[in-house]
């Protein structure tokens, strides 16, 4: 089934070139199918690239998915044209009375700033509180995972001695959990961050289960028992060239940066990239959509008893 994207969104053309079935909103309205409503809180500076990355993964299932993109109203984006935001994004204020099957909260390049000092922190807290009652399952990614773990469970982030940068092997710890169904016992995923979560606090939190972990990168997949809150500390959605772009950008700016680990063939940027995480990225997102959203959320979101509450 197709993914439903706003008319003329740049991601649509990119995905169609990859032979991914993209359906415009106008055609979707003529079909007697209720698509899964997924809201993406896109905090990344490279919003257009992130739209394509997430849409690619969400489209790789038999389910019809309708995406709504949200940007924070309390922060002015410096890297995405305002015209793009006006055309394809909305704000939390305009959706706060709506209900969604799923939510994705992306990463953001603010991990070295205290949570409370991030200019849109109060708004993000409102969104995360909203997700507890108006969203069936929320997927938090990278800094979004750190923010969610801190907000919901008080788990601190910690500075790293050097940037966690590269593609790292991870071990599945709970193979019976649907989120990792079909995963190899060892799989790879990219990381690009200067902070990590407090592993001791995460391990001792009774509300959380650690599903996959890396000896180098730490806990990678965490979830509540219900699966209504899921946390991914890395960037499985990254394209083949994303880390390469970050590496070369920092080199050009004169910022000290190590070669991303386990990324280039023979650790040589001139030999090409070992793209070894794509299949598990697709599997992670399809498992989330299938087992934690589609098979759990009601057909009529408004009539379900779980959602029978007043919306502020």
Catalytic residues: 142, 235, 237
> Which residue's entry shows tokens 């044209």?
81
Q: Are 72 and 92 in contact (CB under 8 A)?
A: yes
With the CA atoms of 99, 46, 290 and 142 taken in that order, what torsion angle do they form, in degrees rounded to the nearest 10?
-100
Query: Can you state the angle between helices 143-153 and 121-134, rounded to 10 degrees?
Result: 70
């Amino acid at each position: 089934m197709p993914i439903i994207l706003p008319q003329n969104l740049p991601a649509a053309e990119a995905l169609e070139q990859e032979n991914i079935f993209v359906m415009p909103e106008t055609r979707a309205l003529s079909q007697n199918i209720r698509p899964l409503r997924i809201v993406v809180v896109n905090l990344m500076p490279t919003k257009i690239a992130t739209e394509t990355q997430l849409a690619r993964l969400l489209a790789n299932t038999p389910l019809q998915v309708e995406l709504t993109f949200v940007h924070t109203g309390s922060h002015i984006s410096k890297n995405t044209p305002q015209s793009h935001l006006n055309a394809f994004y909305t704000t939390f204020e305009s959706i706060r009375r709506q209900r969604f099957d799923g939510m994705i909260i992306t990463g953001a390049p603010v991990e070295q700033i205290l949570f409370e000092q991030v200019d849109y922190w109060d708004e993000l807290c409102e969104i995360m509180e909203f997700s507890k009652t108006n969203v069936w399952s929320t997927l938090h990614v990278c800094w979004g995972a750190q923010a969610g773990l801190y907000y919901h469970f008080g788990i601190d982030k910690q500075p790293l001695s050097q940037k966690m940068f590269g593609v790292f092997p991870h071990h599945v710890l709970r193979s019976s959990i649907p989120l990792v169904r079909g995963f190899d016992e060892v799989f790879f995923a990219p990381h690009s961050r200067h902070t990590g979560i407090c592993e001791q606090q995460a391990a001792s939190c009774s509300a959380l289960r650690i599903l996959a972990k890396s000896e180098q990168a730490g806990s990678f997949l965490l979830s509540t028992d219900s699966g209504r809150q899921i946390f991914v500390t890395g960037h499985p959605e990254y394209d083949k060239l994303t880390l390469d772009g970050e590496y070369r950008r920092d080199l050009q700016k004169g910022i000290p940066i190590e070669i991303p680990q386990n990324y280039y063939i023979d650790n040589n940027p001139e030999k090409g990239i070992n793209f070894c995480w794509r299949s598990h990225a697709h599997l992670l997102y399809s498992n989330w959509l299938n087992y934690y959203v589609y098979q759990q959320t009601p057909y009529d979101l408004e009539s379900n008893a779980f959602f029978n509450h007043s919306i502020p």
